[in-house]
Chain A
Amino acid sequence: MTRMSTRRSFLLRSGALGCSLAASPILTPVGLASAPGDNRLVVIILRGGVDGLDVVRPIGDPAFQSARPGLLNSSEVGIDLTGFFALHPALLPLMPLWTAGELGFVHVASTPYRDKRSHFDGQDLLEAGTVDLSGGGREGWLNRLVQVLPGANARTAFSVGDGEMLIAAGAAEVSNWSPSVDVVLSAAGLGLLRQVMAEDPVFARAMSEAVELAALDGDQVVFPDTHDGRMEAMVEDMQPIPRGDGHLRIAEFAASQLRHETRIATFSLGGWDTHRNQKNALKGPLGRLADTILALKQGCGADVWGKTTVLAMTEFGRTVRENGTGGTDHGTGGMMLVAGGAVRGGRVHGLWPGLDEASLYDRRDLMPTSDLRGWAAWAMRASFGVVRSELERSVFPGLDLGDDPGLML
């Protein structure tokens, strides 16, 4: 295990994906040449409903302290950002990015989702990018972005990790891989596998893509003979997923793809549903988010990072007032984190609605002052030159793009 994963990490870090990459039939020179532009977009779905108010704290709002007596009862109110807003201490590792203008936030943004406050519907709507779920919600907005990008191919967009990403699902081909899977077969075995799978098109397609992707993550798929012990060593490379660093492997793999032909990557991070004891419960997810963004920056390298936009968004915010159990319940208006060399960082974007009871949504939640989709649309416009009509009609049907909110450099 140690030996193999070290080798994999080495390959990823050094970018030595050489031979298997070249052997991939999809990566023809034509494909490389016609890739849609040179900018990169990473969308991270923060599942569970992030309490934006605790991440970017409006300490300048007079109603804030009284709404959160338990959560803010320590002397530490956070790291000062703008005088009005302070950052949750667990995001301290990202402060150099803030200072460098590579990290910013949007307060208060939400999808059009209202009132039922269900994670599952909220996430479906966030990823579908539609006004409601009446259309069935089985197609994601990143997929529709790929559909309108000229020159896009199967490697243009990557969905990374074990979990389902509705945001990338749909008619356009999007690659999908979890860095924790290795496939090892003899050449003859692979031939037979293709024959068996050919009887069921759904399986045939998924399997041929799997074989290709398995080669891309640095581990050999096909061994010329099966008797030299190497294959056995690979087969024995079976350990539980290292839960501690799963997010880093995902970020590293995403970055390794973004360094090459991939322009769009998406994955999710969980653990944000802090109904209880939020003071402790939020530290872990925020620490992982910070590590993930730093791993993306490092993995992309300065050149690619300079052209990168990271959007970390969630299905909804949480109640303004803390609940009876030291946590917060499902709310409405939320916060989005933006990072990368292509964004206008060092500021908190958006309009602040205020926290007095009359300003709240339903007298309990933060009032959304912007549509999350609008910010994402402007990021796509700047990154890929997608025209307004396509953004308003195809990618986010029914969205009014409005004026440029100045999120991008």
Chain B
Amino acid sequence: MRFDPALAEMRFGYGLSPSIAPPLGLADMLSRLSGPDLMSQKYPIENYDQFTARIGEFIAARGERKKAKGTAGEKAAQKAMRRIVRRSRRQATLSLGASLLRRARTADAFRERLEFFWADHFSVVAKGQRMAGVVPSYSESAIRPFVGATFSELLKSAVLHPAMLNFLDQNASVGPNSALAAREDGKGLNENLAREILELHTLGVDGPYSQTDVRQLAELLTGLGTNRDGAMVFRHRRAEPGAETVLGRSYSGEFAEIEDIHAVLDDLSAHPATARHIAGKLARHFVSNNPDPDLVAAIEAKFLETGGALLPTYEAMLTHPAAWDQAGGKIKQPITFVASAFRALDASDRDLGGVDRNQLVQMVDAPLARMGQAWGRPLGPDGWPDHDSHWITPQGLAARLQWALMAPSMLRRGLVDPRQLVGQALGPRATETLHFAASAAETRREGVALVLTSPAFQRH
């Protein structure tokens, strides 16, 4: 297999950049991924501890304001409250800007794609005030550090994370025969997290599990929850007593411990159905809607052979010839489309780092929602649809065109010459027709939009 640097950037990264060189070869690509995470240092995003401290301050400030009502301190408490609300808004803007800059400025774009892939596989929706705006911090703390680890480490990090426990109602689930249920009537079991672990995160919906396995896993998980400070805790009083049997194996003795939950997650990670599920998802996400079965089999075999070690698993995909098939790459999802356009336009720290909230909403947030992919707000725990047919609809395409006409001139003063953009965005992939269209456009604005909405640019 001959390494194709431009295709590597397009298919496994965020496309070509006029100022950042593509990886030199497969070894270079993988060593960038296993090396230090330069982008998270350069463009920091609030981690979960910082997030939860900020929300804690907000809750405290709200309490203070309530207490101060009608006293001399009311005004000051009001002011303190507003300050922290402003800070939270600013934080949301900063993390969106940083996410885009990482994608636009990185020499290790595969890492960014992988973070998106896994954050999507382990999708979380922010629910409730304690978790408002948690998604970027969840991804930063629970997903990003583990994209090169083992699948079982990643699984445990994601599904035991407070944001996930909160999203899938684990926080409220109580063992029907637990000490707490005996004392407080009306508390009970909630199956949501257990079901999604089996259906979405590990075995897959066609996997070999039954409703009884869902129920048993839900009982095994009952001790899990988050405390008032937003940290994960194991609460024995809520845990269902006695052993539970999941996929024929018994877990926990008389009283469950967190180690029992780790054990079942490790076993699920090592299950052949999980290997098949993950291999298929990787191949469908990066390569094709209908991937070569041989490619999937190679990924699956490596996943099983290495106990779910992710770097060798990716390598199995990247060394397979089918992954480099030139014909008809997948269509970029809207977030990838927007980020790769910024990369092609050579967006700088100044262009994206210092913008204010309204501008970012207009330039990125609202258009993404129209393209069908609201930033950080997937529809449910199964994340975004991965099939091209979902994204290539009339309104989805129209929204991309609308964005391509508008956003580049919001990014900075002075638009790039469309004739130059063809080369820097598409390199060898630019067609004669596109070269002609870019030179024939009446305005730079329309020329740039033509390049960015061209099929060649919209495909990986």
Decide: A193 and B392 in contact? CB cutoff 8 A: no
Complex A-B: 19 CB contacts under 8 Å: A69-B186, A115-B211, A177-B394, A181-B395, A185-B405, A185-B446, A188-B440, A193-B437, A195-B436, A196-B437, A197-B454, A206-B392, A206-B397, A238-B362, A238-B366, A238-B406, A239-B362, A325-B187, A325-B188
On chain A, the residues within 8 Å of B84 by CB distance are none
Decide: A119 and B186 in contact? CB cutoff 8 A: no
On chain B, the residues within 8 Å of A207 by CB distance are 394, 397-398, 401
> How many residues belonging to B are interface residues under a CB distance threshold of 8 Å?
63
Decide: B379 and A163 in contact? CB cutoff 8 A: yes
Query: Whole-angstrom distance from the CB of B344 to the nearest CB of chain A?
Result: 16
Decide: B446 and A323 in contact? CB cutoff 8 A: no
A183 to B393, CA, bound (A): 14
Decide: A181 and B399 in contact? CB cutoff 8 A: yes
Given A119, A182, A324, which contacts B189 in the complex, CB threshold below 8 Å? A324
Given B187, B370, B459, which contacts A241 in the complex, CB threshold below 8 Å? B370
Q: For A275, give the chain B residue with the smallest CB separation.
A: B169
Query: Whole-angstrom distance from the CB of B403 to the nearest CB of chain A?
Result: 9
Return the 3 tightest CB-CB contacts between A and B, nearest first.
Answer: A324-B188, A200-B455, A210-B394
Does A3 sit within 8 A of B, measured CB to CB?
no
Mask for A316-331, Cβ within 8 A of B = 1, else 0?
Answer: 0000000111000110
Decide: A121 and B188 in contact? CB cutoff 8 A: no
Given B173, B199, B370, B433, which contacts A180 in the complex, CB threshold below 8 Å? B370
- Enumerate B132-190 residues with CB–CB distance to A below 8 Å: 169, 172-174, 176, 181, 186-190
Does A186 sit within 8 A of B, measured CB to CB?
yes
Decide: B443 and A226 in contact? CB cutoff 8 A: yes
Does A310 sit within 8 A of B, measured CB to CB?
no
On chain B, the residues within 8 Å of A117 by CB distance are 195, 211
Asked, given contacts A116-B211, A189-B441, A324-B174, whether A177 binds B205 with beta carbons under 8 Å apart, the answer is no
Query: Whole-angstrom distance from the CB of B131 to the nearest CB of chain A?
Result: 13
A118 to B198, CA, bound (A): 11
Decide: A169 and B389 in contact? CB cutoff 8 A: yes
Asked, given contacts A238-B367, A241-B370, whether A276 binds B169 with beta carbons under 8 Å apart, the answer is yes
Mask for A273-285, Cβ within 8 A of B = 1, else 0?
Answer: 0011000000000
Identify whether the interface residues of B are mostly helix, strand, loop, or mixed: helix
Decide: B450 and A189 in contact? CB cutoff 8 A: yes
Does A235 sit within 8 A of B, measured CB to CB?
yes
> How many residues belonging to A are interface residues under a CB distance threshold of 8 Å?
60
Mask for A126-166, Cβ within 8 A of B = 1, else 0?
Answer: 00000000000010000000000000000000000011100
Decide: B361 and A240 in contact? CB cutoff 8 A: yes
Does A209 sit within 8 A of B, measured CB to CB?
yes
Given A70, A138, A180, which contacts B186 in the complex, CB threshold below 8 Å? A70
A199 to B390, CA, bound (A): 20
The total of interchain contacts (Cβ-Cβ below 8 angstroms) comes to: 174
- Enumerate B441-460 residues with CB–CB distance to A below 8 Å: 441-443, 446, 449-450, 453-456, 458-459
Does B63 sit within 8 A of A, measured CB to CB?
no
Asked, given contacts A241-B370, A324-B187, whether A270 binds B379 with beta carbons under 8 Å apart, the answer is yes
Does B365 sit within 8 A of A, measured CB to CB?
yes
Does B253 sit within 8 A of A, measured CB to CB?
no
Decide: A196 and B454 in contact? CB cutoff 8 A: yes
Query: Whole-angstrom distance from the CB of A179 to the nearest CB of chain B?
Result: 9
Query: Whole-angstrom distance from the CB of A105 to the nearest CB of chain B?
Result: 26
Q: For A179, give the chain B residue with the smallest CB separation.
A: B395
Does B252 sit within 8 A of A, measured CB to CB?
no
Given B372, B380, B393, B431, which contacts A119 in the complex, CB threshold below 8 Å? B380
Asked, given contacts A69-B186, A325-B172, whether A181 binds B390 with beta carbons under 8 Å apart, the answer is no
Given B172, B174, B369, which contacts A162 in the complex, CB threshold below 8 Å? B369
On chain B, the residues within 8 Å of A116 by CB distance are 199, 205, 211
Does A367 sit within 8 A of B, measured CB to CB?
no
On chain A, the residues within 8 Å of B199 by CB distance are 116, 118
Given B190, B379, B394, which contacts A323 in the complex, CB threshold below 8 Å? B190
Does A171 sit within 8 A of B, measured CB to CB?
no
Asked, given contacts A183-B398, A193-B453, whether A199 binds B380 with beta carbons under 8 Å apart, the answer is no
Does A184 sit within 8 A of B, measured CB to CB?
yes
Decide: B458 and A192 in contact? CB cutoff 8 A: no
Does A84 sit within 8 A of B, measured CB to CB?
no
Does B191 sit within 8 A of A, measured CB to CB?
yes
- Enumerate A170-219 residues with CB–CB distance to B below 8 Å: 175-178, 180-186, 188-189, 192-193, 195-200, 202-203, 206-207, 209-211, 213-214
Decide: A210 and B190 in contact? CB cutoff 8 A: no
Decide: B372 and A163 in contact? CB cutoff 8 A: yes
On chain B, the residues within 8 Å of A189 by CB distance are 441-443, 446, 449-450
Decide: A323 and B370 in contact? CB cutoff 8 A: no
On chain B, the residues within 8 Å of A115 by CB distance are 210-211
On chain A, the residues within 8 Å of B189 by CB distance are 323-324
A198 to B392, CA, bound (A): 15
On chain A, the residues within 8 Å of B195 by CB distance are 117-118, 330
Does A10 sit within 8 A of B, measured CB to CB?
no
Does B382 sit within 8 A of A, measured CB to CB?
yes
A178 to B455, CA, bound (A): 22
On chain A, the residues within 8 Å of B380 by CB distance are 119-120
Asked, given contacts A162-B372, A163-B372, whether A196 binds B442 with beta carbons under 8 Å apart, the answer is no
Known: A235-B405, A276-B172, A324-B187. 8 other contacts (CB 8 A): A116-B211, A118-B205, A183-B402, A193-B453, A198-B433, A200-B456, A202-B455, A324-B190
Decide: A164 and B382 in contact? CB cutoff 8 A: no
A196 to B455, CA, bound (A): 8
Does B245 sit within 8 A of A, measured CB to CB?
no
On chain A, the residues within 8 Å of B441 by CB distance are 188-189, 192
Given B385, B399, B401, B456, which contacts A193 in the complex, CB threshold below 8 Å? B401
Does B192 sit within 8 A of A, measured CB to CB?
yes
A202 to B189, CA, bound (A): 47
On chain B, the residues within 8 Å of A195 by CB distance are 433, 436-437
On chain B, the residues within 8 Å of A197 by CB distance are 454-455
Asked, given contacts A181-B402, A275-B169, A329-B191, whether A241 binds B369 with beta carbons under 8 Å apart, the answer is yes
